[in-house]
Chain A
Amino acid sequence: MLEKQRCLSNIIETRGLSKTFNGRIVLDNIDLNIPRGSIFALIGPNGAGKTTLIRILLGLYKPTTGTFSIYTHNNDDNYNIRKDIGFMLHSPGLYPVLSSYENLALYARIYKIDNERERIEHLLELVGLTEYRDEKVHILSKGMRQKLVLARAILHDPELLILDEPTVGLEVETKIWFREFISNFVMNGDKTVLISSHELSELEKICTDVAILRKGKVAGVYNKFDLNETSLEDLYLKSGERD
């Protein structure tokens, strides 16, 4: 019963999560609860460990100690949890000589999506790339590529979207587009976004929760009530003063 309750309120829980690389501590005893339906921002200076934490959640790195759980609706023992998670990493992982469609089709097959063609065409339209359906990716602009990566991230209609600096290097209008996309994504309350970014002013407009990482430690966790009172920048700077 307790388990069920926990499943409902948080989608991700980490307990004492630590990661060391060759004796250097990169993540130190991370305890985080990521509420279902939230837009959860993960911020912190370069090298704080945000990407490392995301890689652990995606199963790319094994934690040195500690545990984490991801509770999605389909989460029973046999179900492959990765099918409920979409992601955008630092590196886009697109194949420049393949077309937009082919790049998405690769993942559609990996995720074993049934109505591949309809789904891909729908997503290309959603991100405004229908025109570039058969163009090779190397001719796309940075913004278009990022949109294509986003389309790929939601190809399998995931419940949880993990974004690692999705808008770095993009111009204002594309940033706004991404921001609106993320807000719409969680609109119904059953989907969650975990986003790492350095764009505090962008995050401030959409995020409901925030965790600040500094030197591998959680230097503060705030919810929307805190965010209503203090600006994200102030919270960020304040967390640094304690060092």
Chain B
Amino acid sequence: MAILMKELKVIYRNKTFILLKILFSLLYCAIGYGTKALYEQTGYDLNIAYYFIFVYSMSLALMMLYVYPISKDITERMNGGLENILATGYPLKRLILYKTLGLFLSLYIPAALMVIVIIAWSRLYLAGFLSLLVYLPLINGGIALNYICSTMLSVNPAVAMSKLSFYAIAVILVLTYGPVLGYRIGGYSIDMAVSITLAVLLSFAIVLAAYRKFRKIGIEELIGGAVYL
């Protein structure tokens, strides 16, 4: 708990992040509401709502990773913040989980707000709550754990971070513009059900990758691999 409080304090001392988070949250809510217009235009096609609940919420979660103050984790590692905490006997796995929770909350909330707005107008309660309680926590938790483990394990956390960001961008592009491009270029439209299935599969892959990193990580490589200031 002490670690989570520390994480949140450090994250929210960053004014730019607070500002961007509020902006993003508002933007996401607007998108959630704007979806209604799209839904009406397409002749009340519920697939649109499902698409935004499952696919768009995921890419927005990935997007939050950009505005998250990554430098704090890099500084923490290079300052020996992790080494000092671990030297008290604090368990590594618990440390990782609390740090993950701190990041998770930052990623999850804006995407969750958007889904809540969509539930409000679409009344897709089952899909909405499935997304809020299962899908979004899994995907955001997976991203957060992946990120925390990668920055901890890498000799240069900044490189690990930009690699993750690159994947995130790629996923956002494929998920959001993929179907549109496919239609424009190839002339065929990808079924919503296919995109949603792909998004769900992809998030499971992220969770699995994160879990494997989490299992592998040990104090010795974490400390030994760090380049200290």
Contacts and interface: CB of A to CB of B under 8 A. Distances in A.
Interface residues of B, number: 31
Contacts of A55: 223
Interface residues of A, number: 28
Contact of B2 (A62, A90, A109): A109
A94 B85 CA distance: 10
Given A91-B84, A93-B80, A98 B224 contact: no
B87 A58 contact: yes
B26 interface: no
B88 A90 contact: no
Contacts, number: 81
A40 B173 CA distance: 60
B76 A59 contact: no
A164 B16 CA distance: 37
A91 B88 contact: no
Residue picked from B3, B72, B75, B89, most chain A C-beta under 10 Å: B89
A60 B225 CA distance: 13
Q: What DSSP secondary structure best describes chain B's contact surface?
A: helix
Contacts of A200: none
Contact of A60 (B9, B81, B87): B87
Given A95-B10, A98-B10, A62 B220 contact: yes
A97 B10 CA distance: 7
B96 to A, nearest CB: 15
B224 A21 contact: yes
Interface of B: 1-3, 5-6, 9-10, 13-14, 72, 75-76, 78-90, 219-220, 223-224, 228-229
